[in-house]
């Protein structure tokens, strides 16, 4: 009997992941970092690009000093189980005492951003023998104004005293970090304000009895737009995937190459007469006889329902317009700009022919939500 899996058609909608573009972006960011270390953000399934796809592509390219950054412990375990030996940092930190034990076993770094986690680290270290060290690294997060995670400035002196007593158990340098809130706007004065606060924190730690300390502040936007002299580590995320981290599209990040292209194909052709509408709500009507292509993609794949009529869609490389409401599985396209398109013709809704930032702007959102939001039924293909 024939294997049923061989009879199943290839999914119509797929995300094409350009591994050469990914390697190009890493090299570009490494150059921009000017000798500093990089923590490459691969959280949220590598921003929708596939955690193991990205890690397996970049691991052979990476500087041995660089690391991968994830949000949750299970992501770090996935990397270790897949044989990834690069340094891995869990930015949410330990949620239980068992997480410290797992970090010790698998050599996974953990962030600390509150007093409960700090106490948990102290409890773990109290169980170590004299001279025994933690295999994991510790990343201490300080709140410089974003008010999301991190120790308040008034807590810093107490935290320093704790680490002065714990340093004998730390195999790796303590990394003190914070996070920019507005680095996507290079003219926002809050960036400099946060930087000033971070420098004061840096001075406090440098004046302590802790002998081995590193520092990390910049994300993608700061890495590409600021001097970052105060940091040992840079933490690029969205830029790694070839997407500009800046609000202002005129800010030059053109050397980045977009890694994900979300594509599908036409599965039907319709001929509308003047005045006829298409899709739910009939919010678009033809102003002349119009050839309409129906493509196999919708909000069930992660293509936003909020996109308005006129949003650009590329049909075999030609710019066309979305018409009608995006439905769960289908969209309608005015094929006036692609007269030779037929059933089976390739359709790209964002990618190397159409910046995802353009589509995000049309949907009144950010590119992060689009690439992170592709759903499980979208096939992910490496090229």
- 43 flagged as catalytic: yes
> What would the two tokens of residue 128 be?
């170590």
Q: How wide is the angle at C-alpha 365 spanned by C-alphas 188 and 361, nearest 5°?
A: 85
SS3 of residue 203 by DSSP? helix
Contact 164, 209 (CB under 8 A): yes
Closest CA to 40 of 14, 70, 10: 70
The alpha carbon of 137 is separated from its chain's Cα centroid by a whole number of angstroms, namely 22
> What would the two tokens of residue 60 be?
């052979």
Closest CA to 285 of 272, 302, 267: 272
Under DSSP, the state recorded for 378 is: S
Under DSSP, the state recorded for 246 is: -
Contact 231, 215 (CB under 8 A): yes
- Annotated catalytic residue within 43, 47, 202, 303: 43
- 26 flagged as catalytic: no
The residues pairing with 263 across neighbouring beta strands, listed in sequence order, are 14, 348
Contact 374, 48 (CB under 8 A): yes
Closest CA to 110 of 72, 59, 149, 158: 72
The residues that are catalytic are 43, 280
């Amino acid at each position: 009997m024939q294997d049923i899996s061989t009879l199943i058609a290839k999914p119509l909608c797929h995300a094409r992941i350009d591994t050469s573009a990914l390697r190009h972006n890493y090299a570009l960011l490494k150059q921009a970092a000017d000798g500093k270390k990089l923590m490459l953000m691969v959280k949220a399934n590598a921003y929708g690009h596939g955690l193991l796809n990205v890690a397996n592509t970049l691991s052979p390219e990476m500087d041995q000093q660089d690391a991968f950054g994830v949000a949750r412990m299970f992501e770090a375990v996935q990397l270790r189980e897949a044989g990834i030996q690069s340094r891995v940092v869990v930015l949410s930190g330990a949620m239980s005492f068992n997480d410290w034990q797992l970090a010790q076993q698998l050599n996974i770094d953990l962030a600390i951003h509150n007093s409960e986690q700090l106490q948990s680290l102290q409890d773990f270290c109290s169980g170590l023998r004299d001279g025994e060290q933690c295999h994991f690294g510790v990343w201490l997060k300080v709140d410089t104004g974003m008010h999301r995670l991190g120790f308040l400035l008034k807590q810093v002196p107490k935290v320093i005293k704790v680490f002065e007593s714990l340093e004998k158990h730390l195999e790796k340098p303590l990394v003190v970090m914070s996070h920019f809130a507005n680095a996507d706007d290079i003219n926002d004065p809050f960036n400099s304000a946060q930087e000033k606060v971070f420098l004061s924190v840096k001075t406090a730690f440098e004046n302590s009895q802790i002998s081995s300390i590193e520092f990390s502040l910049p994300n993608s936007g700061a890495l590409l737009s600021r001097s970052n002299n105060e940091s040992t580590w840079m933490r690029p995320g969205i830029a790694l995937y070839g997407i500009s981290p800046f609000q202002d599209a005129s800010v030059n990040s053109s050397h980045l190459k977009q890694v994900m292209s979300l594509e599908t194909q036409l599965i039907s052709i319709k001929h509308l007469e003047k005045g006829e509408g298409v899709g739910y709500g009939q919010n678009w009507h033809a102003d002349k006889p119009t050839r309409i292509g129906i493509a196999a993609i919708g909000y069930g794949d992660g293509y936003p329902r909020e996109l308005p009529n006129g949003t650009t869609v590329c049909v075999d490389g030609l710019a066309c317009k979305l018409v009608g409401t995006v439905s769960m599985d289908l969209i309608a396209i005015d094929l006036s700009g692609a007269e030779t398109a037929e059933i089976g013709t390739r359709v790209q809704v964002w990618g190397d022919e159409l910046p995802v930032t353009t589509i995000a702007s049309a949907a009144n959102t950010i590119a992060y939500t689009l690439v992170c939001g592709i759903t499980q039924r979208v096939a992910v293909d490496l090229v």
